[in-house]
Structure formats: structure tokens, C-alpha cells
């Protein structure tokens, strides 16, 4: 009986810790590296939408992990990595072909 309880307790401990292990791989390694690669490709200049999206998803992933919600943190980490990769691709494409660069934002008129 004690052996069965020990096995069950061990199984619960192992499965409960999986979220944090996946977090280390998905967020700490993959998403952070992808965001840094996008930063190096000047995605903030050439791909502001995907760059901002990647940064915000990475921040949200770290916030959810701080609350021990590793399932949500992992999901946001995967979204951050995907957005960072798109930002990096878009930035590389814009640098290669300057005619397709994004137009700067137009200032909003204060008069209604």
C-alpha cells in the first residue's frame, strides 16, 4: 500500500513539474532567442507590428510564469517566437528591397 502511494506521489510530482520544464525550453530559450534575433535584424524599424507583438507576448509569457501559470506562459512563448520569426523575415525582406519598406505613420490631425 505504501509503495502504491509512493508511486502515485512520484508520478504526480513528475507531471506537475513538466510545465516549468517546457517553459524553460519554449520561452527562455526559443522565444527569447527569436526576439533577440529580430532585434538584431532591426525588426523594430522594418517590421513594427510583428516586433511589438513578439515583445508583448514575451512579456506576457514571463508574467504568466511568475504566477506559475506555465500552460499560458508556454502558449504566449510560442506566440512570441512565431511573431519574432515573422518580424525577422519581414525586416530582412525590407532591407533587401527598399522599395517595399513600410511607409512612416502619418501624424493624426488634432482637429475633429
Q: Are 73 and 65 in contact, with CB atoms under 8 Å apart?
A: yes
Burial of 22 (0-12, 13-18, 19+ CB in 10 A): middle
Global pTM reads 0.71
pLDDT digits 0-9 by tens, 10-62: 655 555 556 677 777 778 888 999 999 999 999 999 999 999 999 999 999 99
Query: Could you identify the residue written with the cell 526576439?
Result: 35
| 78: Cβ contacts below 8 Å, ≥ 6 apart | 26, 30, 31
Amino acid at each position: 500500500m505504501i509503495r502504491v502511494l509512493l508511486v502515485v506521489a512520484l508520478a504526480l510530482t513528475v507531471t506537475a513539474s513538466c510545465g516549468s520544464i517546457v517553459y524553460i525550453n519554449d520561452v527562455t530559450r526559443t522565444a527569447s532567442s527569436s526576439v533577440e534575433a529580430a532585434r538584431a535584424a532591426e525588426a523594430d524599424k522594418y517590421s513594427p507590428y510583428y516586433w511589438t507583438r513578439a515583445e508583448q507576448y514575451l512579456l506576457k509569457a514571463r508574467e504568466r510564469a511568475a504566477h506559475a501559470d506555465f500552460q499560458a506562459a508556454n502558449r504566449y512563448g510560442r506566440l512570441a517566437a512565431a511573431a519574432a520569426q515573422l518580424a525577422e523575415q519581414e525586416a530582412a525582406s525590407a532591407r533587401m528591397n527598399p522599395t517595399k519598406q513600410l511607409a512612416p505613420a502619418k501624424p493624426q490631425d488634432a482637429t475633429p
